[in-house]
Amino acid sequence: MDAYVIIENLKRMFEGHAHQERFNTSKDLYACKQGDRDPVRPHVLKMIGYMEYLATLGSAIGPEAQIDLILQSLNSNYAQFVMNYNMNKIDKAPTELLAMLKTVETNIQKASPSPIMMVNTGSAKGKGKWKGKKRMGSKPAVTPKTAPKQSLNPGGGVAKGDTCHYCKKLGHWQRNCHAYLEDLKKKKDTRAFDSGTAGK
């Protein structure tokens, strides 16, 4: 086999492989999109690498198309830059565009508000010191054990199960007990008589 035949055989052997490489590389290139939090430098360098590899495969992309692909792949934070770039008809190489995008990225990071952390530094209000679960210098809370046995019913007045502490009968309280009021009146009269103030 002469040199011409060898070259033709090699072309036929690797032509299908090169076609598949061009297809996969161009697919990856057009699918490149910068995430909202992705840095711009690795993203643009990856796209430049895809475009240079396509050139070695015989499918070089023009300079203007390269810039368009990079600008279209940027996230929404660079929308104002892309509009100004197109309006002013700026003509830059991909590496020069990358330097401009780095400057824009720095300005975006400076302009973005920093997150605010809410810290609760409040302390317990009121006087007295806490000791365990109780606060010193404060009145003890009323618990079911220390609460008075007599309680008001929802409609007001005495509940059916309440007992008078004086006569031990149901249905009224000590302050309304007739026996208690009579004995209290007698005690007052006796004290007044003993002190010589009876009848005044």
CA 29 from centroid of its chain's CA atoms: 36
* Shared-domain flag, residues 11 and 97: yes
Alpha-carbon distance values, 119 to 112, 115, 116, 124, 125 (Å): 22, 13, 9, 15, 18
85 assigned to some structural domain: yes
Query: Quick check: 163 and 169 in contact, CB under 8 A?
Result: yes
Q: What is the mean pLDDT of residues 43-57?
A: 93
Residue 172, domain member (yes or no): yes
Query: What pLDDT, on the 0 to 100 scale, is given for residue 45?
Result: 96
Q: Does the residue 74 lie in any domain?
A: yes
Enter the pTM of the model. 0.50
Q: What is the pLDDT of residue 135?
A: 55
The residues, any chain, with a CB within 8 Å of residue 29's CB and separated by 6 or more, are: 47, 50, 51, 54, 69
Q: Are residues 105 and 171 in the same domain?
A: no
Which of 75, 82, 65 lies closest to 26 in space, CA to CA?
65
For residues 137 and 121, give the distance between their C-alpha atoms in angstroms, rounded to a whole number. 24
Task: Look at residue 74 and tell me whether its pLDDT is greater than 50.
Answer: yes
User: Is 124 part of any domain?
Assistant: no
Rg (CA), the chain: 47
Q: What confidence tens digit (pLDDT) does each residue in 113-142 have?
A: 655 555 555 555 555 555 555 555 555 555
- Confidence label for 150 from pLDDT (cuts 50, 70 and 90): very low
In angstroms, rounded to a whole number, what is the distance separating the alpha carbons of residues 143 and 136?
17
12 and 80 assigned to the same domain: yes
Instruction: Compute the distance between CA of residue 157 and CA of residue 171 in angstroms, rounded to an integer.
Output: 10
pLDDT given for residue 7 in this prediction: 75
69 in any annotated domain = yes
Say whether both 105 and 176 belong to one domain. Answer: no
- Beta carbons of 70 and 97 less than 8 angstroms apart: yes
Please check whether residues 79 and 164 belong to one and the same domain: no
Q: Which of 2-11, 81-90, 159-168 has the highest mean pLDDT?
A: 81-90
Q: Are residues 173 and 90 in the same domain?
A: no
Domain that holds residue 186: 158-200
Q: Is residue 19 in a domain?
A: yes
CA distance 184 to 190: 10
Do 106 and 7 fall into the same domain?
Answer: yes
- Tell me how many domains the chain contains: 2
Same domain, 87 and 175: no
Quick check: is 89 in a domain?
A: yes
> Strands, DSSP E only, in the chain?
130-131, 134-135
Calculate the average pLDDT of the chain.
77
Among 110, 137, 170, the domain-final residue is 110
83 with 182, same domain: the answer is no
Domain contains 33:
yes
Mean pLDDT value of segment 144-149:
48
Is the same domain home to 7 and 106?
yes
Whether residue 78 is found in the same domain as residue 173: no
Is residue 7 located within the same domain as residue 104?
yes
